[in-house]
Structure 1
Amino acid sequence: MECQRNISEFFLLGLSSKQSIQVFCFMFFAFCYLAILCGNLLILISIRGSSLFNQPMYYFLSHLSSMDICYTSCVTPKLIGDLLVQRKGISYESCMLQVFAMHFFGIIEVLILTAMAFDRCVAICRPLHYMVIMSRTRCHVLIWASWAGGAAHSFSQFSLLICLPFCGPNEIDHYYCDIFPLLKLACTDTYITGVLVVANSGLIALVTFVLLFGSYVVILLTLRNHSAEGRRKALSTCGSHITVVILFFGPSIFAYLRPPTTFPEDKIFALFYTIIAPMFNPLIYTLRNTEMKKAMKKVWCQKIFSEEKHN
């Protein structure tokens, strides 16, 4: 079946049409993106340059940082650039690519967060068998499974959009190409497509959130039998994970687990899972993590010392 498409470009309406708000947003999101890049690169280099990389939790954290960079780079640079121009155009091909990339890296991040919750659950509930259960081979398998899951999800979402006919309005009421605003522009009945999107993205977000919530309930119940110091250390680590999960999954569930329609609040909620959560991840995983702070001091002090010695 040949796809009918009479338009080659979409126009993004962005967050606001007011010049003063656009200037503020440009400075704010430029700062956010710089913080995301610097924070996640700092985590990546610190973990890869220390013995923490051999520990499953930090192995997953290094991959999470990589996905944060890739995921937010699908949207934020375009958003920042559009705040400097009047007409915020994006080609049809780039729009479809953005949809694919957002769902691809987004689901990988969701599955890595799930793997991290499983890792913490094993560490606290089965500490004597931890290194056997969370072997490096199993960690590799979980990462590859996350990539496979991201590919399967993004291809299914992409296939729902790619053959929709777009022959009328081409203004997207959003700051990036999202599925529901695109369905609104299609010149055909998209009810079934919308239901399939909800069944795919919405249920993935809900099921994953329930699994994560369940794992932390199990962890909290298990901590009752631990010493006060053990509870404090475990709660500090799990608290970081829970904060990330709430920041990411709360807005995601609102965005996708509902009837296929659009609301003015969608753009505000989307900021949380596309920019705000990736920006806070490095702070949450470093400032509240003693081992991470020690590793960062060791790695960066060694680098500074070696450079001074070389000079």
Structure 2
Amino acid sequence: MSISLLRRHLVGSALAVGFVLCGAPWGTGQTASAQEQTLFMAFTDVDGAPVRDMTADEIVIQWDEVPCEILEIEPLDWPMRVTVFVDNATESHAAMPDMREGLRLFLNRLPPDIEVAIATIGRRPQFLIQHTTDRAELADALGGVISEGGAATFFDALYEEAERLDEDREPQYLPAIVMVAIGGSEGSLRTGDEVINTLMDRLYDNGAVVYTALFSAPYGVGGVRGRGQSRWGTDLAAATRGRYEEVVVPTRYRTILPEFAADIARRHRLVRYQYRVTYRPPEDASDQPRVQAGTTRTGLVTLATDNGNIP
């Protein structure tokens, strides 16, 4: 197939993936090599329904408009897996009923086969229930979330979760982290640029997506309290293709958390029908190639990422 014909197939249906191998969007950039590479790809029809019968002959990957050799495609059945962190520190008392109700609606909106864990972050990150699909057990755990005082550990919770993800050597899921937080006092022990970069790298490498709903009033993210949570939530949403929402009134938890659940459900439907594509780039590839991915099958939309986290 000629390059011009390949280009016609890629236009409109392909996602141009300008990624840096083994790097992250916020990183300094690393040199891509001509060794075997991996790309995660999903395909939908015009109505958004996943396509499940792709073959290697129908997949096209180009580096700087030069075709790559497709070596193998592996269908994946990886569900989303959700970890919810609830801020139950001192400042959460007034907002807690709305946080609990929002999370109840969140659980109701999620597909029943998605595993969920619930943890609190007052004083220290602490799990109330590990990942399960049992909605009754999750509801019981949620009912036990109360304000317990002390400072929140927003960043420590994220760091420890990223560490757990990194230690899972053969994950069969894609993680979503939901931070239900207050813009109050922050007592995390981990600080510094190196720690933040480690967190970012681990989340990205494991295909994690982070959602944050942060109640800023009456404490205000413009003051000292809440600045860290606001900055981290904003940066993580951008870096992981997630979402950050500043909550002005606590009743907003009742609507924003189901919105998060709907987006997780959408991703869940797509990531379960991804393909892990192994390919060999051209011999004379540039150090920072422009990578394009698509299909020769007409009428399909291509979603391609380097870590499986479909936006």
Normalised TM-score (structure 1): 0.25
Structure that is richer in helix per residue: 1
Structure that is richer in strand per residue: 2
Normalised TM-score (structure 2): 0.25
